[in-house]
């Protein structure tokens, strides 16, 4: 699990949700949830307006079409859903029906497993996610030393229900990690060689063009991994980390993501 930065996401459908909050539909949901909580006769179930494309699509983009809990690519044989992080079937959180910050893009398995189980780790909470790290040696997500007990119990529940550390997921992430690391090193190497050849012989020289061609093919290797759509927040994290340590790295995750056209492909 990686932190998903909701704060800096510009396409959030806030005004649409504000309208919904002030609508009849919100009142209907309040009545419906109240009946559900108090176990009285429920009125007809109102429209699940969070499933409208205007809300669903931006959320899908924010989560890069990956499940917020287990990290799998939700377009491949999985029916992804808008999960209410704080359940609307509970008294204290029933009011968060049309709250953008309460939506998590979730695969159907995680959503079903999560149900009313609380509390899960919130992938959009930097306070919680700062305690979780990716272990390079085996592809597991683990808690850092000194993690507060309440976060550990959220981690354990989320792990148990979403199975982010089972079903061969750690093995897949370890493999992905090794592949991406190797691609990034090759890009660095050929970018340096290209710059060097360009400096000595000019960027139109045969040698510079040769290096540029290899550089492009190495870049395509990362783009292919992005296009495959698995664990994209891990790839983003690895590229950021690599760029921090190698200031001359020529690409950002966003550029590679855009070039992959992954988000455009539905």
- Which of 69, 134, 141, 190 touches Zn ion (CB under 5 A)? 69
Query: Does 32 help bind Zn ion (rule: CB under 5 A)?
Result: no
**Size, binding site for Zn ion by CB under 5 A:** 5
User: 140 with 171: CB under 8 angstroms?
Assistant: no
The least CB distance from residue 69 to Zn ion, in Å, is 5
The least CB distance from residue 66 to Zn ion, in Å, is 9
- Which of 17, 70, 94, 223 touches Zn ion (CB under 5 A)? 70
Helical segments of 107-148, H only: 108-114, 126-129
Which residues is 73 bridged to in the sheet? 66
Site track 72-101 with Zn ion (rule: CB under 5 A), x = hit: ------------------------------
The least CB distance from residue 125 to Zn ion, in Å, is 17
Strands (E), 89-233: 103-106, 132-135, 140-143
CA nearest to 29, candidates 89, 104, 115, 108: 89
Question: Cα separation of 175 and 10, whole Å?
Answer: 32
**Residues sharing a CB contact under 8 Å with residue 110, sequence separation 6 or more, in sequence order:** 67, 68, 69, 70, 83, 161, 162
Nearer Cβ to Zn ion, position 110 or 256? 110
Nearer Cβ to Zn ion, position 33 or 102? 102
- Which of 110, 184, 226, 234 touches Zn ion (CB under 5 A)? 110
The least CB distance from residue 158 to Zn ion, in Å, is 10
Rule CB under 5 A: which residues touch Zn ion?
A: 67, 69-70, 107, 110
């Amino acid at each position: 699990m990686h932190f998903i930065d909701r704060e800096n996401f510009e396409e959030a459908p806030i005004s649409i949700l504000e309208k919904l909050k002030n609508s009849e539909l919100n009142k209907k949901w309040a009545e419906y949830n109240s009946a559900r909580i108090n176990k009285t006769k429920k009125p007809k179930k109102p429209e699940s307006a969070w499933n409208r494309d205007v809300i669903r699509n931006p959320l899908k983009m924010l989560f890069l079409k990956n499940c917020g809990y287990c990290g799998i690519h939700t377009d491949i044989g999985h029916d992804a859903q808008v999960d209410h992080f704080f359940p609307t079937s509970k008294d204290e959180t029933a009011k968060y029906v049309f709250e953008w910050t309460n939506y998590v893009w979730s695969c159907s398995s995680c959503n079903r497993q999560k149900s009313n189980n609380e509390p899960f780790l919130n992938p959009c909470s930097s306070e919680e996610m700062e305690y979780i790290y990716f272990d390079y040696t085996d592809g597991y997500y683990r808690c850092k030393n000194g993690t507060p007990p309440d976060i550990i119990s959220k981690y354990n529940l989320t792990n148990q229900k979403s199975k982010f550390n089972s079903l061969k997921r750690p093995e897949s992430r370890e493999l992905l990690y090794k592949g991406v690391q190797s691609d990034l090193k090759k890009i660095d190497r050929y970018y340096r060689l290209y710059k060097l050849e360009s400096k000595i012989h000019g960027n139109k020289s045969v040698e510079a063009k040769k290096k540029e061609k290899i550089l492009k093919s190495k870049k395509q290797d990362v783009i292919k991994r992005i296009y495959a759509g698995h664990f994209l927040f891990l790839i983003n994290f690895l590229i950021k980390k690599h760029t921090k340590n190698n200031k001359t790295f020529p690409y950002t995750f966003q550029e590679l993501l855009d070039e992959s056209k992954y988000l455009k492909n539905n």
